[in-house]
C-alpha cells in the first residue's frame, strides 16, 4: 500500500512527514535505551528479510495482489520502537532506489506502515496473547494492515484525491483479504525465528 | 550472530528465486485507485532518480533476471542501511 507521488497534497505530505519525524526521533531514543550494540546485526538482517519478503506479491481476489508489510513481525521480535526503525529503513530504500512509494509520500508511508503498524500490532498482541499466542500474532498482523489501509484512506481524503466515504470501504475490504496473507506469513516467520533463536533472544 | 547469517541467506534466496515469480497484479491501493479512477494522479514520480525503478535493472532484458538482480541488490542495500542506522543509534551518548 505504498502511496506514490501525486496522491497527497502539500498539507497532508507536510503534516504526515512531521509526525513521522517526531515518532522516529522518539523511536531512536528508545532503541538506544532498550536495544544494544549486540542487537545491531539482528535489526539489519530483519530489515533485509522484510525487504525481500515485500517483493513477493501474492494474489488476493480477482486481479489484485498484496504483499507482506512486516510491522507485526518486526514488532514481535524487537518491540514497536525497534520495529519502526527497521520498517522505516525498508521504506526509505524502496523509495530512493526502487521508486516504490513516492518521495513526497515517504512521510505518510512511514507513518502508516512503520509507525502505526508496529504500535497497533504491539497493542493487539499484548491484549490477545493471554488467550493464545498464535492467534495474537495472527490478529496483530491482520489489524496492522487494516489500520494502514484506514490511515491511507484518511490521507487520500484529506488531500482531496478521493472522498472518504468512497475510498474507505474498498480499501478496508481488499486489505482485509491481504491481511490474511500477512497473518499467515507472520505466524510462520515468528514460529521459525523463535524456534531458531531459542535461548539466544529474550 | 552466526544464526542471523542463515536468515540473511534466506532473504537473498527469496529475493533471487521467489520475487521474479511474484504476482504482477496491482496491489490493494492500486486496485482501489483504478476502480475509483484516481490511479492516473500517481503515475508520475516527483523525481526520476531511482536507479532501479519498479525493481528492474536497466540493460537486463530478461524480466525475471532483472527483478532477481534488483531484489538481491535491494536486500543488501537494506541490510547495510538498517545496520548502519542501528549502529549509529546504539552509539549515541547517554544524555
A153-179 as b/e, with b when 16 or more CB fall inside 10 Å? bbbbbbbebbeeebbbebbbebbeebb
Is residue B52 less than 8 Å (CB to CB) from chain A?
yes
Instruction: Tell me the residue range of the domain where B14 lies.
Output: 1-21+53-78
Residues 130-159 of A with CB under 8 A from B: 149, 152, 156
Contacts of A89 (CB under 8 A, 6+ apart): A47, B78, B81, B82, B85
- The pLDDT value recorded for residue B95 is 54
Q: How many structural domains comprise chain B?
A: 1
Does residue B48 lie within any of the structural domains? no
Tell which phi-psi region holds residue B87, choosing left (phi > 0), alpha (psi between -120 and 50) or beta. Answer: alpha
Does residue B29 lie within any of the structural domains? no
Does residue A25 lie within any of the structural domains? yes
Is residue B44 less than 8 Å (CB to CB) from chain A?
yes
- The pLDDT value recorded for residue B48 is 85
- The pLDDT value recorded for residue A202 is 42
Is residue A103 less than 8 Å (CB to CB) from chain B?
yes
Count of pairs with CB atoms under 8 A, one residue in A, one in B: 213
Whether the per-residue pLDDT at B6 is higher than 50: the answer is: yes
Chain B neighbors of A4, CB-CB under 8 A: 42-43, 45
Whether the per-residue pLDDT at B74 is higher than 60: the answer is: yes
Is residue B65 less than 8 Å (CB to CB) from chain A?
no
What pTM value is reported for the model? 0.95
Does residue A88 lie within any of the structural domains? yes
Query: Cα separations (Å) of B23 from A88, A122, A127, A198, B41?
Result: 24, 29, 34, 34, 23
Residues B8-46 pLDDT 10s: 999 999 999 999 999 999 999 999 999 999 999 998 888
Q: Return phi, psi of residue B60, to 5°.
A: -105, 110
- The pLDDT value recorded for residue B91 is 86
Higher local confidence (pLDDT), A113 or A63: A113
Is residue A32 less than 8 Å (CB to CB) from chain B?
yes
The CA distance from A171 to the nearest CA of chain B, in Å, is: 6
Q: How many structural domains comprise chain A?
A: 1
Cell matching residue A119: 504500535
> In terms of CA atoms, which chain A residue is nearest residue B54?
A98
DSSP conformation letters of B40-67: GGGSS-S----SSGGG--TT---HHHHH
The CA distance from A132 to the nearest CA of chain B, in Å, is: 26
> In terms of CA atoms, which chain B residue is nearest residue A196?
B3
Does residue B90 lie within any of the structural domains? no
Residues A48-72 pLDDT 10s: 999 999 999 999 988 999 999 999 9
Q: What is the mean pLDDT of chain A?
A: 94
- Of the candidates B88, B68, B41, B3, which has an alpha carbon nearest to the alpha carbon of residue A105? B41
CB A65 within 8 A of CB A58: yes
**Distance separating alpha carbons of residues A108 and A133, to the nearest angstrom:** 31
Chain B neighbors of A57, CB-CB under 8 A: 22-25, 27
Does residue A2 lie within any of the structural domains? no
Instruction: Tell me the residue range of the domain where A151 lies.
Output: 10-196
Higher local confidence (pLDDT), B45 or A159: A159
- CATH number of residue A106's parent domain: 1.10.1760.20
How confident is residue A197, by pLDDT bands cut at 50, 70 and 90? low
Does residue B87 lie within any of the structural domains? no
Is residue B36 less than 8 Å (CB to CB) from chain A?
yes
Query: In chain A, which residue ranges form alpha helices assigned H by DSSP?
Result: 10-34, 40-54, 71-98, 106-109, 117-128, 133-158, 164-196
Higher local confidence (pLDDT), A196 or A172: A172
Does residue B84 lie within any of the structural domains? no
**Distance separating alpha carbons of residues A65 and A61, to the nearest angstrom:** 8
Q: Report ipTM (2 d.p.).
A: 0.95
Best mutation site among B19, B86, B88, B95 for testing chain A: the one with the most A CBs within 10 Å? B86
Cell matching residue B89: 543509534
Does residue B65 lie within any of the structural domains? yes
Residues A8-21 pLDDT 10s: 999 999 999 999 99
Does residue A128 lie within any of the structural domains? yes
Chain B neighbors of A149, CB-CB under 8 A: 28
- The pLDDT value recorded for residue B94 is 61
Query: In B1-95, which residue ranges form alpha helices assigned H by DSSP?
Result: 2-13, 28-35, 63-90
- The pLDDT value recorded for residue A193 is 82
Query: Cα separations (Å) of A48 from A24, A91, A197, B11, B27?
Result: 19, 11, 18, 7, 21
Does residue A131 lie within any of the structural domains? yes
Grid cell 497497533 is found at A120
The CA distance from B66 to the nearest CA of chain A, in Å, is: 13
CB A171 within 8 A of CB A152: yes
CB A167 within 8 A of CB A148: no
The CA distance from B47 to the nearest CA of chain A, in Å, is: 8
Q: State the sign of the Cα–Cα–Cα–Cα dihedral B29, B32, B38, B40.
A: positive
Amino acid at each position: 500500500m505504498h502511496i506514490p507521488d501525486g496522491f497527497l497534497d502539500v498539507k497532508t505530505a507536510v503534516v504526515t512527514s512531521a509526525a513521522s519525524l517526531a515518532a522516529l526521533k522518539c523511536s531512536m531514543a528508545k532503541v538506544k535505551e532498550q536495544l544494544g550494540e549486540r542487537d545491531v546485526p539482528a535489526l539489519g538482517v530483519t530489515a533485509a528479510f522484510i525487504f525481500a519478503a515485500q517483493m513477493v506479491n501474492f494474489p488476493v481476489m480477482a486481479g489484485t495482489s498484496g504483499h507482506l508489510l512486516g510491522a507485526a513481525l518486526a514488532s514481535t521480535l524487537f518491540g514497536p520502537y525497534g520495529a519502526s526503525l527497521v520498517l522505516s529503513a525498508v521504506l526509505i530504500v524502496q523509495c530512493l532506489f526502487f521508486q516504490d512509494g513516492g518521495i513526497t509520500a515517504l512521510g505518510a508511508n512511514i507513518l502508516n506502515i512503520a509507525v502505526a503498524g508496529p504500535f497497533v500490532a504491539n497493542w493487539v498482541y499484548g491484549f490477545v496473547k493471554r488467550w493464545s499466542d498464535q492467534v495474537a500474532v495472527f490478529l496483530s498482523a491482520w489489524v496492522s494492515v487494516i489500520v494502514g489501509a484506514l490511515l491511507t484512506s484518511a490521507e487520500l481524503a484529506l488531500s482531496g484525491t478521493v472522498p472518504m466515504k468512497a475510498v474507505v470501504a474498498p480499501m478496508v475490504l481488499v486489505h482485509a483479504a491481504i491481511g490474511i496473507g500477512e497473518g499467515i506469513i507472520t505466524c510462520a516467520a515468528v514460529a521459525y525465528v523463535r524456534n531458531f533463536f531459542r535461548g539466544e533472544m529474550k | 550472530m552466526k544464526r542471523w547469517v542463515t536468515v540473511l541467506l534466506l532473504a537473498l534466496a527469496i529475493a533471487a528465486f521467489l520475487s521474479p515469480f511474484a504476482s504482477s497484479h496491482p496491489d490493494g491501493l492500486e486496485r482501489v485507485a483504478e476502480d475509483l479512477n484516481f490511479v492516473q494522479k500517481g503515475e508520475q514520480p516527483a523525481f526520476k532518480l531511482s536507479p532501479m525503478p519498479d525493481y528492474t535493472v536497466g540493460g537486463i532484458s530478461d524480466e525475471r533476471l532483472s527483478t532477481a538482480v534488483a531484489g538481491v541488490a535491494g536486500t543488501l542495500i537494506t541490510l547495510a542501511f538498517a545496520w548502519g542506522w542501528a549502529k549509529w543509534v546504539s552509539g549515541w551518548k547517554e544524555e
